[in-house]
């Protein structure tokens, strides 16, 4: 497979970190961002060139705009964009979740994706090539008590992705991906110790990354899942 330029948001933890390391291990170039300065610096030291990582908050449109301008001028349009950055609310009934917490979940999980699309899609559309993967969840297609804000955000991701897929030219694709249940910090925040019953991010990435690399125009608009073994 030809070397691909892969852009990933939320690269310093969980699935983002695991995907970054697996894409790099397979010989692809990863450019990514996260809010953690220490995490970004650690990845830079660990992986080095040609990979590159920046401290960017996807909630901040101007920050994403500046980052996109830098990357597009340096690398050109990415082949694969994975909108992975995400937050989950603390367990609580909807009326117990404050406005600020609700807004932050929505801002990262939905507006963050829109911001990345806004500044990277135009150059990819001009080239008529590239795939966007927007991370959804099982809770983007079902619901559960005490997860109202997160469910709301992931249902929004599904709708946003479907609409976006209809706007893309032939040769491109946008998919909403349900990664499944993985033992991450986010899962532990709502599942507690039972999260240990599920696979690790590294195990998941070894299964998921080859599938992500093979996504193409035939997948446009699909709701996708990473199959369990």
Catalytic residue, chosen from 54, 75, 150, 198, is 150
CA-CA distance, 88 to 108, in Å (whole number)? 10
Angstrom distance (rounded) from CA 159 to CA 162: 5
Handedness of CA 224, 136, 112, 83 (dihedral sign): negative
For the question of residue 198 being annotated catalytic, the response is no
Write out the two tokens for 118.
Answer: 């806004």
3-state class (DSSP) for residue 202: helix
Q: Name residues whose C-beta falls within 8 Å of residue 162's C-beta, 6 or more positions apart in sequence.
A: 176, 221
Paired tokens of 90: 């603390």
d(CA 57, CA 48): 22
Closest CA to 174 of 152, 159, 189: 159
Residue found under tokens 């829109």: 114
User: How far apart, in Å, are the Cα atoms of 68 and each of 1, 40, 42, 64, 65?
Assistant: 26, 17, 22, 6, 5
User: Known catalytic residues?
Assistant: 150
């Amino acid at each position: 497979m030809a070397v691909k330029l892969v852009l990933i948001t939320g690269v310093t933890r969980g699935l983002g970190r695991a995907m970054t390391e697996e894409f790099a291990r397979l010989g692809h170039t990863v450019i990514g961002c996260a809010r953690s300065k220490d995490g970004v610096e650690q990845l830079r030291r660990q992986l080095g060139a040609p990979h590159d990582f920046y401290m960017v908050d996807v909630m901040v449109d101007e920050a994403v705009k500046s980052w996109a301008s830098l990357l597009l001028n340096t690398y050109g349009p990415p082949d694969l964009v994975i909108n992975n950055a995400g937050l989950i609310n603390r367990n609580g009934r909807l009326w117990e979740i404050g406005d600020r917490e609700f807004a932050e979940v929505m801002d990262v999980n939905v507006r963050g994706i829109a911001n990345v699309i806004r500044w990277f899609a135009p150059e990819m559309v001009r080239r008529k090539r590239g795939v966007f993967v927007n991370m959804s969840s099982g809770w983007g297609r079902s619901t559960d008590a005490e997860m109202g804000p997160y469910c709301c955000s992931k249902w929004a991701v599904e709708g946003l992705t479907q609409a976006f897929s209809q706007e893309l030219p032939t040769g491109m694709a946008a998919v909403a991906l349900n990664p499944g249940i993985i033992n991450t910090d986010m899962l532990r925040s709502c599942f507690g110790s039972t999260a240990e019953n599920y696979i690790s991010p590294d195990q998941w990435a070894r299964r998921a990354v080859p599938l992500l690399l093979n996504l193409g125009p035939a997948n446009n608009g699909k709701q996708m899942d990473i199959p369990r073994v």
